[in-house]
Structure 1
């Protein structure tokens, strides 16, 4: 398993996964969590404390270096174990305005109640919570370590899931190849059956000897119209490209999605050219397997 994970950069990856990382350094504790889901492009969502807002661009760049596709959500929390990251400040201007208003009210309506501390603390906005200034480069050193760890854990999970996807897709490609072989084998038999039926039908209608030239021409026209050799060749080429791409070190999800569309197109063409029940049933099996492959491809980076 360790060998597989270390080879992660040479294998296809799923777009789904989760990674967690922590780092303690320079008086700070940083926790990063990354979750990724399927998406056509790279879509990043970064949630972090206000004090770290200046690091968002660095975080996005860091993620983009390792992850190319998926809906990626990054949550980062920061704690300082030597001092608080927040400070409380009393809003004296607002407090004085409230006190003056209260004094005016007491005079105007002859109130005698004293102002209590609890009354002051309950005034909205009277105490402000402000973030203290921190050395952003100093914090980035800790954030980057936690981020690297969470990215590695995420990629490890995506690689393991990618292995499962690859195994399933290869099995289905093998099934596709088997179905294609059966369809191809059926092709000549369909022409021979058509030839016999046509000959029998002509004899029933006109009797006597056939005009062999016209008869063979008609059979040749039929064979040309129903020929699926080009579609079979392209299907096998697509399958070969599919297998090759599954061993690529680059993100191949979009390419594989395109190949499944092309395979489906060839299967549809074979179906439209044939009236033979065996071939039609083979096309149905082809389309079923291609659709299952397409569903798996949607998970690949």
Structure 2
């Protein structure tokens, strides 16, 4: 099953004391690159959260945001850090005036209350802390689950796109095989003409002729390339159908497909076949672009 590295998940849960929101965004990357934004009051949980992200998402550039806001009475031990809020308020108010805006006190206060460390939870009971942490974990798990679900849905779409592109390359290969039936006789006729010219030359060298004949046969024959290309196309589809999502493997197979396509184009020495090769390359480029977004 394919999984895209592009994903998004968001979850919000609320208790009597806090409201927790976890948001996960992921994009393609060669490795797992995690950026976390966590309230300072819960910074000691960052390693735990990173481990959860690593287990769930495997690869990608991940941006994680956690917001914890007191609700109701804010919990028996939650208080406002008034000194810090006042400092935020003065700074935001002054910044607005410096920029030429007329600050609205209630808006400035609301922004100040949303700044980091504006709430102190040191006085919460141990039971309340355990309950709050459990709610945070639940929220993080749900956001990661939704992000994984998003990735799977994207993977389904990519799976269809891959199969369509592989089928088009297969269809083009069939056209090339039909053209190849007429190409080889043409090559043979040109060789016969050259042989007749050589036979009329008194300096005709039989050994030299045999060497040239072998050279041309090897140069123009694309039978092996066609067989290998078919095998690579089949292997690509088999890999798509495997239980594991393996973008690196698909990328390696697409590179092998590209080598055979390029060789067919260079050895064919036929304009019609070369035009078809260009179409194959176009489809293959689409595949390569998307394999970079597969886990």
Q: TM-score band (shorter)?
A: 0.7 to 0.9
Q: Which residue number corresponds to residue 169 of structure 1?
A: 162
Contact 1:48/1:75 (<8 A) preserved: yes
- 8 Å CA contact retained: 1:184, 1:229: no
**In the alignment, does 2:268 pair up with 1:279?**
no
2:29 aligned counterpart, secondary structure: coil
Query: For the residues of structure 1 that align with 2:16 and 2:32, how far apart are their CA atoms?
Result: 32
Say whether residues 1:151 and 2:141 are aligned partners: no
SS at match of 2:216: helix
1:296 corresponds, among 277, 284, 290, to 290
* RMSD (Å) for aligned C-alpha atoms: 2.8
Mapped partners of 2:216, 2:6: distance in 1: 50
- Correspondence 1:233 to 2:230: no
Residues 26, 138 of structure 1: 8 Å contact kept = no
1:222 — aligned with what? 216
Q: How many residues align?
A: 254
Give the unaligned 5+ runs of structure 1. Answer: 1-10, 92-127
For the pair 1:49 / 2:39, whether they are aligned, the reply is: yes
TM-score (norm 2): 0.76
User: Where does structure 2 lack aligned partners over 5 or more consecutive residues?
Assistant: 85-116
Give, in angstroms, the shift of residue 74 of structure 1. Answer: 0.8
1:176–1:86 distance in 2 versus 1, CA, 3 Å = farther
TM-score calculated relative to the size of structure 1: 0.75
1:1-301 equivalent positions in 2, closer than 5 A: 11-25=1-15, 27-81=17-71, 82-83=73-74, 85-88=78-81, 131-133=120-122, 135=126, 137-204=130-197, 206-207=199-200, 218-301=212-295
TM-superposed CA distance for 1:89, in Å, is 6.8
Q: Which has the larger radius of gyration?
A: 1
Quick one: structure 1 residues 86 and 228, their matched pair in 2 at CA, closer, same or farther if it must change by over 3 Å? farther
Deviation, 1:281, is: 1.4
SS in 2 for 1:240: helix
